[in-house]
Amino acid sequence: MFLGEYHHSIDNKGRIIIPSKFREALGESFVITRGLDQCLFGYPRNEWSELEEKLKGLPLTKKDARAFTRFFFSGATECEIDKQGRVNIPSTLLNYGKLEKECVVLGVSNRIEIWSKPIWEEYFAESEDSFSEIAENMIGFDI
């Protein structure tokens, strides 16, 4: 399980340090792809395989299913963590997430998320104000 919030910088080669607490669970290689809310999602191989099976089960006849599957898989790339604990993020994903210098790496249960620090701060401030309302809407999910 991935938990926590960590602040790191991206170097001029597009590399970011993955928090040491996440490295073992991610394994030697893992998948990074476009996430929602303009962040990147990172999945260990086993979690990616499970998600891949679910997405393959979506009906090809549904336009939204095709669009989401294209969005998710076309941005996906397998990454390896180097000896310094860094991962190289492709320029297409750096551009999608507007990742320039300061970033935030989050642990979100079965995945990590990589955010541009300004985008994360804006998102968090907006969500924090409505957290009680969001929690009330989660009642139907048995939490």
pLDDT band at 135 (very low <50, low <70, confident <90, very high): confident
3-state secondary structure 92-108: HHHHHCCCCCEEEEEEE
Place of tokens 């998710």: 72
Give how many domains the chain has, as a whole number. Answer: 1
CA nearest neighbour of 3 among 86, 123, 111, 97: 111
Length of the chain: 143
Please write the tens of the pLDDT for every residue from 11-67. 999 999 999 999 999 998 999 999 999 999 999 999 999 999 999 999 999 999 999
Question: What pLDDT is stored for residue 143 in this prediction?
Answer: 60
| Distances from the Cα of 7 to the Cα of 19, 47, 91, 120, 137, angstroms | 9, 24, 20, 11, 30
For residue 25, report the phi and psi dihedrals to the nearest 5 degrees: -70, -30
How far is it, in rounded angstroms, from Cα 58 to Cα 136? 29
Domain that holds residue 81: 2-141
pTM: 0.93
Checking if the pLDDT of 84 tops 80, the result is yes
CATH number of 122's domain: 3.40.1550.20
